[in-house]
């Protein structure tokens, strides 16, 4: 499978990686005198499981990242770094990726803040009898391919929101966390829409070979919290082992959003920060390799 990579690049072959990687890389893109500092960004994808779906396939044509301040830029804007372009779209069954990653690409790019990843998908072929490339199967009918409707994903891409920082001179890694339970929405006619609201970005600070996860739902019953930063700190540690930004949705008379954080086995506290609300810190939570630890609902409180 051939791939065309954006300017200034360093692509690693597609493989499975066990976790987000942010490690010191001597001599990597620190920037020389008179040049802008650069860092290396690695992009992977993982998922949560589903009780309803047996498979969820997406066909990725291209992956771009969006610097802060360019969220409204067109997809072909030269200022949006291209992580990878596939001549033949990369077909990924996200339901095979729990507690592991599939690397989509690695690129050297300017250090700084980024607020979005765009996944450009291949279109499903038109006409009767043509097999879809973006589709799901149900556990009750695992051989029937049900096309996924992906509005705008072939032009502007699935716009996955989430703040992350590319620091100079190191490998920075983000994980696209695909939650099929919220990303796939059933329509009244039996079709299914794929929406980016159930896809999140997380960033970690440790190279992981074995890991588990902390998950839960941030909730407010009296006021919209819009966005929140979710961070996981190891017991006695001053630096977050994983962090990410989530965005609220209004449902059943409350504002809520699920989250997941991937970390190695150990004891952790979960911190949640949202403007206008009291900061939340959980009791110690134990994470074990290859399993999820749920903290349930995190109820935000007014100051």
Task: Write down the pLDDT at residue 53.
Answer: 92
Choosing from 159, 184, 209, the residue where a domain stops is 209
169 with 227, same domain?
Answer: no
27 with 164, same domain?
Answer: yes
Run means of pLDDT, 10 residues per run, the chain, 303 residues: 38 29 32 68 83 92 94 90 93 86 87 93 85 93 91 79 89 85 84 86 69 91 93 91 89 91 91 96 94 94 92
Helix (H, G, I), strand (E, B) or coil at 139: coil
Choosing from 171, 188, 209, the residue where a domain stops is 209
- pTM score above 0.85: no
107 with 127, same domain?
Answer: yes
Phi, psi angles (nearest 5°) of residue 197: -65, -20
Task: Write down the pLDDT at residue 133.
Answer: 94
Question: In whole angstroms, what separates CA 108 from the centre of its chain?
Answer: 19
By CB atoms closer than 10 A (0-12, 13-18, 19+), residue 13 is: exposed
Q: Which residue range(s) make up the domain with 39?
A: 1-209
Task: Write down the pLDDT at residue 177.
Answer: 87
Task: Write down the pLDDT at residue 175.
Answer: 84
Helix (H, G, I), strand (E, B) or coil at 130: coil
How far, in Å, CA of 120 to CA of 86, rounded? Answer: 10
205 with 246, same domain?
Answer: no
Task: Write down the pLDDT at residue 102.
Answer: 81
141 with 288, same domain?
Answer: no
Choosing from 182, 209, 236, the residue where a domain stops is 209
Task: Write down the pLDDT at residue 206.
Answer: 56
Task: Write down the pLDDT at residue 153.
Answer: 73
Q: What is the CATH number of the domain that holds 230?
A: 2.60.40.10
195 with 246, same domain?
Answer: no
5 with 153, same domain?
Answer: yes
Number of domains observed in the structure of the chain: 2
Which run of H or of E encompasses 232? strand 227-234
177 with 238, same domain?
Answer: no
228 with 139, same domain?
Answer: no
Task: Write down the pLDDT at residue 85.
Answer: 93
220 with 157, same domain?
Answer: no
Task: Write down the pLDDT at residue 209.
Answer: 60
For residue 227, CA distances in Å to 55, 277, 280 come to 30, 11, 14
72 with 111, same domain?
Answer: yes
For residue 80, CA distances in Å to 7, 73, 152 come to 11, 8, 18
202 with 280, same domain?
Answer: no
């Amino acid at each position: 499978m051939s791939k065309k990579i954006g300017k200034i690049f360093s692509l690693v072959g597609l493989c499975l990686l066990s976790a987000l990687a942010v490690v010191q890389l001597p001599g990597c893109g620190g920037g020389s005198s008179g040049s802008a500092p650069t860092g290396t960004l690695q992009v992977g994808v993982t998922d949560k499981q589903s009780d309803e779906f047996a498979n969820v396939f997406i066909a990725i044509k291209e992956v771009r990242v969006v610097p802060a301040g360019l969220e409204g830029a067109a997809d072909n804007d030269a200022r949006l770094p291209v992580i990878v372009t596939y001549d033949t779209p990369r077909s990924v069954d996200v339901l095979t990726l729990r507690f592991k990653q599939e690397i989509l690409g690695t690129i050297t790019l300017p250090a700084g803040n980024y607020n979005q990843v765009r996944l450009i998908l291949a279109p499903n072929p038109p006409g009767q009898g043509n097999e879809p490339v973006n589709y799901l199967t149900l556990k009750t009918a695992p051989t029937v391919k049900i096309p996924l409707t992906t509005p705008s994903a072939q032009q502007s891409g699935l716009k996955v929101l989430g703040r992350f920082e590319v620091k100079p001179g190191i490998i920075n890694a983000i994980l696209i966390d695909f939650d099929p339970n919220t990303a796939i929405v059933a329509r009244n006619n039996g079709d299914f829409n794929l929406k980016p609201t159930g896809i999140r970005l997380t960033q970690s600070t440790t190279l992981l070979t074995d890991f588990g996860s902390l998950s839960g739902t941030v909730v407010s019953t009296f006021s919209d919290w819009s966005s929140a930063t979710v961070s996981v700190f190891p017991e006695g540690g001053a630096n977050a082992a994983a962090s990410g930004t989530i965005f609220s949705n209004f449902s059943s008379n409350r504002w809520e959003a699920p989250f997941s954080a991937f970390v190695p086995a150990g004891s952790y506290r979960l911190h949640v920060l949202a403007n206008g609300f009291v900061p939340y810190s959980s009791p110690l939570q134990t994470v074990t390799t290859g399993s999820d630890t749920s903290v349930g609902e995190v109820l935000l409180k007014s100051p």
